[in-house]
Structure 1
Amino acid sequence: MKTMAFVSCLFLAPALADAATCEQLAASLKLTNAKVTSAEAVTSGTFMEQKNLPPFCRVQLTLTPSSDSDIKSELWLPLNNWNGKFQQVGNGAWAGSIQYGALAEGLRRGYATASTDAGHTGTDASFAMGHPEKLKDFGYRAVHETAAQSKSTITNFYGMAPKLSYFNGCSGGGRMAFQEAQRFPADFDAILAGAPGYNRVNQSVWMLMNAKATLDNPASFIPPAKYAVLHRAALDACDAQDGLKDGLISEPLSCHVDPAVLQCGGSRVLSDPANCLTAPQVEAARKLYAGVTNPKTGERIFPRLEPGSELSWGGPAGGPEPLAVGADLFKFVVFKDPKWDFRKFDLARDYDAVHKVDSLDLSPTSPDLEAFVARGGKLLIYQGWADQNVAPQSTVDYYNNVARTIGQKQVDDSVRLFFAPGMAHCGGGEGPNVFDALASLE
């Protein structure tokens, strides 16, 4: 019975953390290449726009793994009823802010939870121009350093390390998730990666070429009102392929849509300008359905927009500029010119220059997850079939590459890939697209 009582005391130790202990962290905690800049107890139940919060210790950290680093991270520690686990959340696009909504969600469920701005403030990539170390911070260091320093802080605060550590991110957060599994296999026990934009450089080329397909020539522009026309044609061609006509395309990889069936002229319906495409618009749609290949080698650079994604084409093809998440790579990293005009980009001429900046710093494409799965790590990947910002085929390609590299048995034991018909990028769309991310990790 004495042994049982002792174990119970150890289990209850996290509950003994209090507001006073929290506010001492800034002065008492010594970290390597990091500093606690603020530690305060939040007991009002509200923080910024987040409501119904349990009492927590808000820890703000500044991380400096290089002399040019200025990574801001936050760690929220439950003052009561910590579940013994740690969850870190990712960022989309170019990051640049703390994800308070995601922090609040984890906190309400008892997690110690962390987020980082990935080394800069703002939504674009201007931080990277002339600052290669900051680009490394964004690429992979900020997430890893946040995990390491958060775990040290958790151990100091509660007197014990987290028993399980999870990472959860979509889009750019999915890219972060892949960096962690590949580079730092000991950081997290389970990782949830949604719509992973892991091939960042080639994906940016694809985003640029999607925009150029409809924006280079005004005659090629596809008005948003015609996305529904294209979508109906895709459903007519492929909805029933899975045996159920339900308004969703469940097997888009085997679906072929020829936009020429919508070209104006001929039948009564296709004589109505609202329900047909001009010849230049047909050609633009074909380019979007084709993906991007290297004109010199014929090698595929990035796969296509899948049939079923048409209702979300406003982002990749609606203009007046390409998606900033892609265009900023060219402005601030490749050509180092904030005024760079995407219309000047020539794929045959410029792709080699673009590819020179490609490295594992930005694009975690390595399929070698041996170290991660060997220690028992679990990687869950999810992807919407109607994603307009990450080509679903690229996610399939990564999964298959992992299976070829470490073997199907290890993949079956440790890696899962789930597809959601009709789901757009990280959510939205006509299909089911809301689920409990934390529950899937647990």
Structure 2
Amino acid sequence: MSAEDAARSFGFEKALARCFADLSNLRETTVIRSLPFLLCGGALAAVAQTPCEKLSSVKLENAIITAAESVAAGPYRAAAPPAAPAAPAAPAPAGRAGAPAGRGAAPAPPVLPAFCRVALTLTPSSDSHIEMELWMPAENWNNKYQAVGNGGWAGSIQGFANMQTALREGYATSGNDTGHKGADPVFGLNHPEKLVDFAYRANHEMVLKSKALIAAFYGKGPRLSYWNGCSTGGRQGLMEAYKYPEDFDGVIAGAPANYQTHLHAWDMMVGVGVRKDDQHFVSTPKLNALNKAVLAACDAMDGVKDGLLNDPRKCKFDPAALLCKTGANSDDCLTPAELESVKLVYSSAKKKSGELIFPGKEPGSETGWAGIVANTPAPAMLSMGSFMYATYNDANWDWRKFDLDRDVAAADEKFGYVNAPPDLTGFKNHGGKLLLYHGWNDTAISPENTVNYYESLLKKMGSKQDSWVRLFMEPGMQHCQGGPGPDQFNKVAILERWRESNAAPDMILASHVTGNNVDMTRPLCPYPQVAVYKGTGSANDAANFSCKTP
């Protein structure tokens, strides 16, 4: 019986379930993964759009639909993230992905267009419990799908804000919690399958289910699919492009934690080093003085004094210039122990052989170091838990005995599948476009890591790849957003123009906003180009800059 006949004979739900069931035993191969949507298309097109509530009867492999409801246009507040489970944790550094935000009065719920909300629980393994939501516009669907990423160790659907924006722009959109609750990696203790879900499986399963339900609701699948994520969400996007290159037609990957095991090794190297004794902690006033000295030494190197460093790697400031005089100690100088900590934060983690593990923080970013060199009893669980739970599966692992060479090797062996390799040949062949971006003032993930990823990709795939991948480095931007530099630009619109109109971004106009006022605009340039001041006019006006190769 054809898919069309099945639709007429059994009704929509039975035809869809039958079509997917017939193909479910073939879905493990790369070629077959997309066949359910291709071969079932006739059944889907043979019937009218399905009412939202009837989606609850659709049968999907390894999935339970827990809600299918029509949401009227108007204010809508998504579910709040759950509280994290108890774990032996020190406070996460300020500004780190996954660190708790300050609590105040809840903002008014956003006003959204009418949509169909579907909630699912996915169980690709016997120990999986992945919660996701899919939102589909009731009207004016743009025939596209946008998935949103997470931050830190996830543990909730963290992308509701991006889903709201996507929905307003006509996208069907989804996000998930990667298979656990709470922002700490304690979920991985004795649960290896949950670590696999976090690493890559949860997002791929979400994509498969989202596309099936989109096809069910509208009678056709999405014409184009995009990924939008930063931090862990950046890593997730790169992992999707690497492991499942046909899932998306375009990927936005900001500040990616693509080398997560090595990122956490750097964190531990510094976390242990600054806890030798109480004298190695550095106060916020001293960090401010350090930043002021860095800018005084290096700000004008790029041709304009604007509080931003175009390329901090060129700044060779020696923090020893701030060494306190013998016996003295004040907020504008560093003691020998504090100087040791500062140098450690600037430094890269390297093996005894000299091989790079992970780069350090950049000059100019010092005001964001408070969480790195703060007086807390232990390193942040964000990184410590990576070794405790994901590497050694030992809640009693002693962070004081951390050994860089030994422990990073163990992490790569046990949990290295979380890292996204710099080979996207399949994604390129699929016609995908990749927009990479990273702020030079990022103190959560070293911006040089993204530069290294990009250069490794060029080394692997060839030097001329700008037709499908471009990297934009942002002076003054902190982790994913914020900081004194221009951090605001419409990433999705840029990716749309690139993928849909072949208009590659030769320059991105970015803004810095204070309150509701745009107080700076600046061009962002495709790496290795930088924005160069023309010599006259306001340094806050993008018109007075041009992109040039250094």
TM-score normalised by length of structure 1:
0.91
Counterpart contact for 1:63–1:69, Cα < 8 Å: yes
Count of residue pairs the alignment pairs up: 418
Quote how far apart the aligned CAs of 1:319 are: 4.5
Matched, 1:42 2:42: no
Contact persistence 1:91–1:170 (CA under 8 A): yes
Q: In structure 1, what is the equivalent of residue 118 of structure 2?
A: 59
The whole-number CA distance in structure 1 between the counterparts of 2:317 and 2:273 is 17
1:306: which partner in 2? Answer: 362
The answer as to 2:146 corresponding to 1:91 is: no
2:310 maps to what in 1? 250
Q: Which residue is 1:9 aligned to? A: none
Q: Establish whether residue 389 from structure 1 lines up as the match of residue 444 from structure 2.
A: yes
User: Is residue 278–residue 375 contact of structure 2 (8 Å, CA) maintained in 1?
Assistant: no
**Does 1:433 find its partner at 2:487?**
yes
Deviation string, structure 1 residues 306-335 (Cα, Å, up to 9, x no partner): 101101002322241323321210221223
Matched residue type, 1:428: G
Match of 1:24 among 49, 54, 71: 54
Distance 1:45 1:395, change over 3 A: same
Q: Name the structure 1 match of 2:136.
A: 77
Q: Is the 8 A contact 1:82 1:111 kept in 2?
A: yes
Task: Give 1:86 shift.
Answer: 0.4
**Which residue number in structure 1 is paired with residue 351 of structure 2?**
294
Match status 1:370 vs 2:425: yes
Note the 1:127-166 alignment, pairs <5 A. 127-166=187-226
- Residue correspondence of structure 1 range 321-340 to structure 2 within 5 A: 321-340=378-397
Q: CA deviation at 1:351?
A: 3.7
Instruction: Give the direction of change, closer, same or farther, for the CA distance of 1:87–1:350 in structure 2 (3 Å limit).
Output: closer
Give the C-alpha shift of residue 65 in structure 1. 1.2
Cα distance, 1:358 vs. partner? 3.7
Counterpart Cα distance in 1 of 2:272 and 2:489: 35
The answer for the alignment partner of 2:531 in structure 1 is none
Identity of aligned residues (%): 45
Which amino acid in 2 is paired with 1:75? L
Superposition TM-score, scaled by structure 2 size: 0.73
Q: Say if 1:349 and 1:113 are closer, same or farther in 2 by CA, change over 3 A.
A: closer
Match of 1:235 in 2: 295
CA contact (8 A) 1:309 1:387 kept: yes
Deviations 1:118-160 (A, max 9, x none): 0111111111111111111100000111011100100110011
CA contact under 8 A between 2:246 and 2:427: conserved in structure 1?
A: yes
The 8 Å contact of residues 308 and 485 in structure 2, kept in 1 or not, is answered as: yes
Amino acid in structure 1 at the alignment position of 2:487:
N
Query: Which residue identity does 1:76 align to in structure 2?
Result: W
Shift of the alpha carbon at 1:75?
Answer: 0.2
Aligned equivalents of 1:319 and 1:136: distance in 2?
34
1:238, 1:255 within 8 Å by CA — same for their partners in 2?
A: yes
SS of the equivalent of 2:256 reads coil
The whole-number CA distance in structure 2 between the counterparts of 1:341 and 1:273 is 34
Q: Find the aligned partners of 2:483 and 2:269 in 1 and give their Cα distance.
A: 23
- CA offset digits 1:153-182 (Å, max 9, x no partner): 001100111111000000000010110110
Contact conserved, 2:76 with 2:111, CA < 8 A, in 1? no
Residue 258 of structure 1: how far off its partner (Å): 1.2
Stretches of structure 2 lacking an aligned partner (at least 5 in a row): 1-44, 79-108, 497-550
Deviations 1:250-305 (Å, cap 9, x if unpaired)?
Answer: 11112222110000118xxx96611000011111111111121113x221111010
List structure 1 runs of 4+ shifted beyond 6 angstroms. Answer: none
Residue 390 of structure 1 deviates from its aligned partner by: 0.9
Could you give the per-residue CA deviations for residues 67-125 of structure 1, whole angstroms, max 9, x where no partner exists? 11111110001101111110000000001111222211111111100001001111111
Shift in Å, 1:214: 2.1
Query: Is the CA contact (8 Å cut-off) linking 2:442 and 2:479 kept in structure 1?
Result: yes
**1:348 shift after superposition:** 4.7
Report the alpha carbon displacement of residue 345 of structure 1 after superposing the two structures with TM. Answer: 1.8
Q: Retained in 1: the 8 A contact 2:73–2:115?
A: no
Amino acid at match of 1:155: A
Counterpart of 2:114, as a letter, is: P
Task: Report if aligned partners of 2:69, 2:116 keep a CA contact under 8 Å in 1.
Answer: yes
1:211–1:318: 8 Å Cα contact kept in structure 2? no
SS in 2 for 1:120: coil
SS in 2 for 1:408: coil
Give, in angstroms, the shift of residue 31 of structure 1. 1.1
Q: 1:103 aligns with which of 160, 163, 188?
A: 163
- Residue 387 of structure 1, CA deviation: 0.6
| CA 1:237–1:243: 2 relative to 1, 3 Å | same
- Residue 218 to residue 348, structure 1, CA distance change in 2 (3 Å): farther
Aligned to 2:177: 117
Distance in 2, matches of 1:135 and 1:180, equals 16
Equivalent residue for 1:6?
none
Match of 1:170 among 221, 225, 230: 230
